[in-house]
Amino acid sequence: MRGEDARYMALALALGRRGQGRCWPNPAVGCVIVKGGRIVGRGWTAPGGRPHAEVRALKQAGEGARGATVYVSLEPCAHHGKTPPCADALIAAGVARVVAPIVDSDPRVAGQGFARLESAGIEVETGICAGEALRDLGGFLRRAETGLPHLTLKLAMSLDGRIATASGDSQWITGAEARRVVHAMRARHDAVMVGAGTARADDPMLTVRGLGITGQPVRVVVSRRLDLPLMSQLAQSAREVPLWLCHGPDPDAALAEAWDGVGATRIACDLTGRQLDMASVLRALGDKGITRVFCEGGGGLAASLLGAGLVDELVVFRAGIAIGAEGLPGIGALGLDRLAGAERFALAETRAVGGDTMSRWRRG
């Protein structure tokens, strides 16, 4: 590793994050091209997944790419999809060296990109900033390896772990600063998901607001019976912002027709007993290309995801208020009788957000 490699790789990773939530099913990759100590090209995966980061950076670099070092946050692709392989584009541009943190676990690549570069006489170095790359690209890699997207569960609760009063009043537990952070988190995910109870109680839009972004994440509602209000904001905006409804295998025909009529996409999923099987729900989303899901509850859905071991990251906002035992819990019953059966998460971050606190936990 050379002295400047970590610095340029950190920049490539930061560029890649700009594409999160807007380039699925492709990975959100960043690329920096350096020659003679000067950046001559940079790029990140475009909305919709193409052009790829390397292609955008090479176009900016032009002839400056010849003999240059390329820092890219994932192994360059080696397969023909809707566009030619990025490995071939790098070879044709005459670059001298490619630095990438991790192998692309997509079976269509899986080391073949690196092998193609080395066969062309290009120096390849891997492993730099690998941990950060694995976190940034975890959704793409998880879907490639298991068929399931990465799932972040967000909870906003009082000091005593309640998400609403006994009457269901929950707006707003946290302050404006925390809500703005949540909107930024939505923007970096492919889909925002809630349960039917939350959709009925809060009548949410589930869109990203106040950040000036173009495009919106897919809105997903988990509703076994499709018994959601057709006059809701979600229904009325289904033709403008994608709305996917994950339901049981035998929905009411009239409700199904009504939701089809407003422009929603229905996805039939399997049951476990009388409840939707959440692994089936996530696999169905993965089949449609979703790599990163941001779940905003409610308590029953949170319990189902945690109980099935499907939560990769947990983000908890706590406000400085107490609601009391009659309030609604942030997580429903998990059915545990021994502490040893509870999944442990590793604390990754704790910080103040306005008058609230935010903690981020990752699967240990």
pLDDT in tens, 98-125: 999 999 988 888 889 999 999 999 999 9
For the segment 205-220, what is each residue's pLDDT rounded down to a tens digit?
A: 999 999 988 889 999 9
| Spatial strand order in the sheet of 30-35 | 38-44, 30-35, 69-72, 97-100, 123-126
Compute the average pLDDT of residues 48-57.
95
Residue 84 CB-density burial (10 A; 0-12 exposed, 13-18 middle, 19+ buried): middle
Cα-Cα-Cα-Cα dihedral sign, residues 81, 241, 309, 321: positive
Q: Please report the pLDDT score of residue 171 as a whole number.
A: 64
Q: What is the pLDDT, as a whole number, of residue 339? A: 47
- Is a pLDDT exceeding 90 seen at residue 323? no
Could you tell me the CATH superfamily of domain 148-363?
Dihydrofolate Reductase, subunit A (3.40.430.10)
Amino acid 340: pLDDT: 52
φ and ψ at residue 285, rounded to 5 degrees:
-65, -40
Q: What is the mean pLDDT of residues 333-360?
A: 79
Catalytic site residue from 54, 125, 240, 313: 54
CA distances in angstroms from 136 to 15, 74, 140, 149, 292, listed in the order given: 11, 10, 9, 13, 10
Outline which parts of the chain fall under CATH 3.40.140.10: 1-137
pLDDT at 102: 95
Tokens 């340029």 label which residue?
8
Half-sphere exposure of 20 (CA within 13 A, CB side): 23
Answer yes or no: is 325 a known binding residue. Answer: no
Annotation-wise, does 186 bind a ligand?
Answer: yes
pTM of the complete model beyond 0.85: yes
Tell me, what's the pLDDT at 168? 57
54 an active-site residue?
A: yes
- Helix, strand and coil content of the chain, in percent to the nearest 5, comes to 30, 25, 45
Query: Is CATH 3.40.50.300 the classification given to domain 1-137?
Result: no
Whole-number pLDDT of residue 336: 42
Model pLDDT, residue 332: 60
Task: Supply the pLDDT for residue 106.
Answer: 83
129 is in an annotated binding site: no
Average pLDDT, the chain: 91
For the chain, residues classed under CATH 3.40.430.10 are 148-363
